[in-house]
Chain A
Amino acid sequence: EPEVTQTPSHQVTQMGQEVILRCVPISNHLYFYWYRQILGQKVEFLVSFYNNEISEKSEIFDDQFSVERPDGSNFTLKIRSTKLEDSAMYFCASRGRSMNTEAFFGQGTRLTVV
């Protein structure tokens, strides 16, 4: 069964460093998302991406964040200068063409900023 895959599963980084989280969405999906979940809190939307551009972003997604789909299969989230409060699980999700299709989540990347 097709699935969204994310790498790495766990990333530890020093405060101020740049990190890139990688995702391979389901192959025929057109809509891509990043969400995050701080430990013990709700899943929060970061950004949505369609047709090679950002279609919506939350207030969390500030200038430190960027997304890219460099090669038609990978979908990346970059955090330029990590802060302690960026420590969270980051989930990539993808959705098919129809308005009523569901979003499927990858297994997540646990980011720990020290």
Chain B
Amino acid sequence: QKEVEQNSGPLSVPEGAIASLNCTYSDRVSQSFFWYRQYSGKSPELIMSIYSNGDKEDGRFTAQLNKASQYVSLLIRDSQPSDSATYLCAVKPNFGNEKLTFGTGTRLTIIP
């Protein structure tokens, strides 16, 4: 059973601080990793993808990948109230047409 694990939260972070979201996965052949943001009642919105070990930065977001530890994280700097949402970690192998396997998501609340 291929699993993606996330702390369900809720995670509360003061406005302007750094929010750190973590994800572990069980399938070693996973090669592609994604963070989606989901507002309540809405669809997942892609915010970051990462394919290689190390860090990838995009604006206030940094994704970190460690394949040896089967661990991927998302840092949100200068957190804003609009960042309050559920963050979904998703993984997939990098061959064929394989599906995304999602974690249950971490609910993040930014406190003004």
Contacts and interface: CB of A to CB of B under 8 A. Distances in A.
Interface of A: 31, 33, 35, 41-45, 48, 50, 55-56, 58, 89, 91, 99-100, 102-108
B50 to A, nearest CB: 10
Contacts of A41: 104
Interface in B17-50: 32, 34, 36, 42-46, 49
A107 B43 CA distance: 5
A49 B91 CA distance: 18
B66 interface: no
A42 B91 CA distance: 13
Interface residues of B, number: 24
B98 A56 contact: yes
Interface of B: 32, 34, 36, 42-46, 49, 51, 88, 90, 94-105
B51 A45 contact: no
- Which secondary structure dominates where chain A touches chain B? strand
A87 B99 CA distance: 22
Contact of B43 (A45, A99, A106): A106
B102 A43 contact: yes
Nearest to B95: A99
Contacts of B88: 42-43
